[in-house]
Structure 1
């Protein structure tokens, strides 16, 4: 295909610029042609044929002149700079018509193919008015996207011609993980944890950070009574303590091959990122320091310890674009690196695949060293298919064989977990929808018990 033909074909595919005849004009010429063919039976002269065609053609040109010029149109796009994956977001297209003519339009926005959308969008803009077009889109893949073009077509008054223009509107959009669970925790932390049966409790009696003196309530420990304030106010007053702030937590995010396994909503890495951000928000809200390390074959991202809710944005911007690598995770390398960057005692939360981790015998040596200084917990996602096969009734020989293999696999996993837990290395698995709750609940439990 030659360059000119490619350009012409591109115009029909909603690209570049140009003026195109509409189906209405083509239909008019078709009817005119059929009429003239029928009229040839009465020996219509060529003068009449040419005259009729010229009349229709000049009427269409007049219609073309009564349409807005391209320099009389101002089109702007308004799109959020950050979009959460899987959630509906609103995009606005502002169209300003400075001409004295009304127009009917259709447009196609040049958003990435991974964004769900329904194009073209049809509408009408009256003369010398401003119209705002809104459409919903859902981003399915995290990352940073540059949106450059917007393709716009509008018809003349009678709809015989259609003008086409391509606008360059530069916008940058970041698709970040779904922060619904993080917002739920920040809005109502107690309700978020009560769903799992965990309560945010104050620290053990007489230890931790003193917060305030309040009236003694039923169920309080008598040892917390402040006798000096009681004598002064003639009312039983008690001291209130809460867990010490300023503790350290390190979140390890596995981006290896096994984290690409598909779940009911996204893959394992998607769920892990959402849970990691939620537990990070919980720790920062409590005044603790949080560092994040993402790895696969090598260390991909490291965010040094930080404090305060502003640090959550730092973590988010560092990990929102993480992707699953085709390589296997190198636990020994990342644990060695962790020993060099994290000198203070901290709670280490490793989000990974438990089954893969259990077969890494070399990592056990490094974890034993870490365990001497740090508190370690590995959190994985339950294998729904494995649990389904274990619960399935063995109605056929094939089902019975698959059930026995699944049970054997589960027993092997439990035996390996017991061996690791005997070294003080805790491992838990949670359902994908409860992963964030499990991580935050464990963090709150550690702080309540003063293990750090």
Structure 2
């Protein structure tokens, strides 16, 4: 009996019906002819209560629920979750599905209304967007089934506890892999270079398209096919590509729910995956006041998995970056010339001045690409209209900060350091473009 009490809830019409009968009893103090009507309605209502409870708990109503979730969630992406509901009774049922979501998603009450025919199965889908790496624990699934009269509801609980991990964006990695190796990659911003390098190791013969080097036209093949054909050459392989990620406090700045560190992690995974498919070696260094993860460049099959696991555990630190330690670590782990993508954020010229001597030293030994971020909120503020003197002052300060970013970009270019200044949401696209560009020009 106590078990059933835990499962029973008041339906949507219950309080309305009780309130209406109580109102009639109150009115009967003045108009006595309403008293027998209120008594009759209360008896009818009590009978309906018993009928609704009997139908819900008589053994004819049975509902089961199950959940399907991906093996891993992709950070910052929409991940689909499927709920499978079974109505095992012969009655048509109206219900509300309540799923216990992980606490990190911050959904206080997730509900899905559903109407099901007797002896049927239904699927309902929803998406979640995790913005933190870590383990996400789902709880049970509750089905609140309304009785035919809608006076009471019964809760059916399906034990469906499950845990999944949120890793750096696997979806984004696959998306950019597809774009980078697709013939139509230019449609979405990823530059597809037909001339893949300056080495002359023959790969294959392809039809001529606009932009191909006319010096590579194969006249014999063109005569046979009656169309222009060009020789295609491979790039140099087994070059070392390092993703170097700064974890100082400036990388904690949020954008679109993710920190700048998370954006850098997603991008480094996407670029490393493409580099592996280009037969290059990939490595990783994370640093702040001390060195975090270090992976020596390799193109073994397990290297991508090692990279994902290393990125999964990274967190921002409330410290300043130690560039001396970075230079020393790079010299130890990468003795030969490599392509180094440095993900960092400079919010003031002083921060760049402190780092610039070390960046110049690194760029002498490696092909260094410094990637830092625009402050999108500041740039939006500079475009807003000022309504008073205080607003003019604030907009002037915002414009000064935006100009400082451009000045830092110019300063790095003057030092002959490859540089990308980008919005966080365009980081992956621009970094992949830069990798393909450098690869195509044979600068690595």
| Pair in the same fold by TM > 0.5 | yes
Change (3 A) 1:215 1:122: closer
Task: Determine the C-alpha separation between the residues in 2 that align with 1:305 and 1:119.
Answer: 45
Structure-2-length-normalised TM-score: 0.75
Please say if residues 248 and 316 of structure 2, whose CA atoms lie closer than 8 Å, have aligned partners that are also in contact.
yes
Aligned partner of 1:447 among 421, 425, 439: 439
Within-5 A mapping of 1:112-261? 112=102, 114=105, 119-127=110-118, 129-143=119-133, 144-176=135-167, 182-189=173-180, 191-193=184-186, 198-202=191-195, 207-212=199-204, 240-261=232-253
Q: Give the deviation of 1:439 after TM superposition.
A: 1.6
Aligned partner of 2:351 among 351, 356, 359: 359
Aligned partner of 2:325 among 305, 313, 333: 333
Q: Give the deviation of 1:373 after TM superposition.
A: 3.4
Please say if residues 216 and 225 of structure 1, whose CA atoms lie closer than 8 Å, have aligned partners that are also in contact.
no
Q: Give the deviation of 1:376 after TM superposition.
A: 1.4
Q: Give the deviation of 1:77 after TM superposition.
A: 1.4
- Residue 288 (str. 1) matches residue 280 (str. 2): yes
Change (3 A) 1:148 1:329: farther
Provide the residue aligned with 2:337 in structure 1. 345
Task: Determine the C-alpha separation between the residues in 2 that align with 1:400 and 1:124.
Answer: 57
Task: Determine the C-alpha separation between the residues in 2 that align with 1:76 and 1:204.
Answer: 52
Change (3 A) 1:248 1:22: same
Provide the aligned length of Structure 1 versus Structure 2.
Answer: 432
Q: Deviations over 1:47-85 (max 9, x none)?
A: x96x98677545523431222549943221122333445
Provide the residue aligned with 1:92 in structure 2. 82
Task: Determine the C-alpha separation between the residues in 2 that align with 1:400 and 1:158.
Answer: 63
Q: Deviations over 1:120-158 (max 9, x none)?
A: 32223333x233241423325232311112233212232
CA RMSD of aligned residues (A): 4.8
Please say if residues 147 and 170 of structure 1, whose CA atoms lie closer than 8 Å, have aligned partners that are also in contact.
yes
* Higher gyration radius (CA): 1
Change (3 A) 1:418 1:18: closer
Provide the residue aligned with 2:225 in structure 1. none
Task: Determine the C-alpha separation between the residues in 2 that align with 1:214 and 1:23.
Answer: 69
Task: Determine the C-alpha separation between the residues in 1 that align with 2:34 and 2:367.
Answer: 100
Structure-1-length-normalised TM-score: 0.74
Provide the residue aligned with 2:430 in structure 1. 438
**3-state SS of 2:265 partner:** helix
Q: Give the deviation of 1:405 after TM superposition.
A: 6.3
Provide the residue aligned with 1:373 in structure 2. 365
Q: Give the deviation of 1:19 after TM superposition.
A: 1.5
Please say if residues 153 and 163 of structure 1, whose CA atoms lie closer than 8 Å, have aligned partners that are also in contact.
yes
Q: Deviations over 1:218-261 (max 9, x none)?
A: 9756689799x99xxxxx99864221111110011223221233
Q: Give the deviation of 1:111 after TM superposition.
A: 0.9
Provide the residue aligned with 2:8 in structure 1. 19
Task: Determine the C-alpha separation between the residues in 1 that align with 2:18 and 2:422.
Answer: 68
Q: Give the deviation of 1:354 after TM superposition.
A: 3.5
Q: Deviations over 1:73-129 (max 9, x none)?
A: 3221122333445544443322223334443221221113526698432223333x2
Task: Determine the C-alpha separation between the residues in 2 that align with 1:44 and 1:204.
Answer: 95
Provide the residue aligned with 1:307 in structure 2. 299
Task: Determine the C-alpha separation between the residues in 2 that align with 1:26 and 1:406.
Answer: 56
Q: Please, which runs of 5 or more residues in structure 2 have no aligned partner?
A: 223-227
Please say if residues 190 and 432 of structure 2, whose CA atoms lie closer than 8 Å, have aligned partners that are also in contact.
no
- Name which of structure 1's ranges 22-31 and 36-45 shifts more when overlaid on structure 2: 36-45
Change (3 A) 1:165 1:223: closer
Q: Give the deviation of 1:347 after TM superposition.
A: 0.7
Q: Please, which runs of 5 or more residues in structure 1 have no aligned partner?
A: 1-6, 231-235
